[in-house]
């Protein structure tokens, strides 16, 4: 198996915990050919095209939780990966790929762990002399069982020069991920990735096959608020279960929102 230094890897695998990096939105981009490959996707906006000056002010805001979904017990808690394997017609290429993620935000009355789909969202990865930005546009859970977890992700991938701030690479990507448990509590993540240029034309005739071993390093622990304070996951989860007709799954500690958790505006309206 060949090994490449990190700077040589052109197709980084997205290992997503969509409680911290979540997305779901827009319809399919274009006509789908046999085998699931789209003939074309919509072109990138001018601000995200090669040669344009990039600013983080252009990244999406107004992050919102679109939905919640169940996770199999083996896909909860903290994970880390160390390498990525890319399979091509010429063989397998392995590269350093150090990432970490936490999967699962809240648990219901039965103990089942749930994660959230958050849109819009993005991820930032520092590389040699540049920074990669993945802007997530769609996240769909296709299957979540005791044997496997499958999802589809669509996103825009940019590489930005750190000095000039010019966009060096601009693509749209579509990825199908399948995660399965191993005998020692770790998880293998298989992905098939399609890439399209900034005009929406395919850059390949068949999907790239990627593989990552996710090492389980911590047990699930409920996260009541996002690190930046944008979301009150505890309250959002209670509201979701109530509005979706699943109130019987609300844990006892979530059935009534405590006064200390009410927003200041709500407190001001309470009778004195």
pLDDT digits (tens, 9 = 90+) for 127-168: 889 999 999 999 999 999 999 999 999 999 999 999 999 999
The token pair that represents 165 in the structure block: 């701030």
- Give the count of alpha carbons within 13 A of 253, CB side only: 7
Q: Which residue has the higher pLDDT, 15 or 173?
A: 173
Q: Are 20 and 101 in contact (CB under 8 A)?
A: yes
Eight-class DSSP state of 198: T
The Cα 220–Cα 155 span in angstroms is 27
Residues listed for the chain: 272
The residue ranges of every structural domain in the chain are 2-225
Q: How far is CA 3 from CA 91, 94, 96, 118, 187, in A?
A: 11, 5, 8, 35, 22
C-beta neighbour count of 49 within 10 angstroms = 14
pLDDT tens string 207-229: 888 899 999 999 999 999 988 78
| pLDDT at residue 234 is higher than 80 | yes
pLDDT of residue 100: 87
pLDDT of residue 87: 75
Eight-class DSSP state of 253: G
pTM equals 0.75
């Amino acid at each position: 198996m060949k090994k490449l230094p990190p700077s040589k890897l052109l197709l980084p695998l997205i290992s997503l915990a969509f409680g911290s990096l979540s997305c779901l939105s827009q319809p399919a981009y274009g006509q789908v050919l046999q085998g699931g490959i789209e003939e074309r996707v919509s072109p990138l906006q001018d601000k995200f095209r090669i040669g344009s000056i990039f600013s983080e002010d252009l990244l999406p805001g107004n992050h919102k939780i679109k939905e919640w979904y169940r996770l199999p017990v083996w896909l909860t808690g903290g994970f880390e990966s160390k390498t990525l394997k890319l399979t091509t017609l010429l063989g397998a290429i392995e590269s350093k790929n150090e990432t970490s993620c936490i999967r699962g935000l809240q648990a219901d009355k039965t103990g089942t762990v749930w994660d959230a789909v958050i849109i819009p969202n993005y991820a930032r990865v520092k590389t040699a002399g540049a920074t990669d930005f993945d802007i997530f546009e769609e996240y769909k859970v296709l299957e979540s069982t005791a044997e496997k977890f499958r999802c589809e992700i669509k996103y825009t991938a940019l590489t930005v020069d750190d000095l000039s701030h010019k966009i060096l690479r601009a693509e749209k990507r579509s990825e199908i991920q399948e995660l399965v448990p191993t005998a020692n509590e770790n998880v293998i993540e298989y992905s098939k990735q399609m890439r399209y240029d900034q005009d929406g034309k395919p850059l390949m005739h068949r999907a790239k096959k990627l593989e990552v071993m996710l090492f389980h390093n911590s047990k699930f622990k409920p996260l009541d608020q996002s690190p930046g304070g944008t979301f009150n996951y505890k309250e959002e989860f209670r509201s979701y279960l109530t509005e979706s007709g699943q109130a019987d799954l609300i844990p006892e500690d979530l059935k009534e929102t405590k006064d200390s958790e009410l927003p200041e505006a709500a407190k001001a309206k309470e009778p004195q």
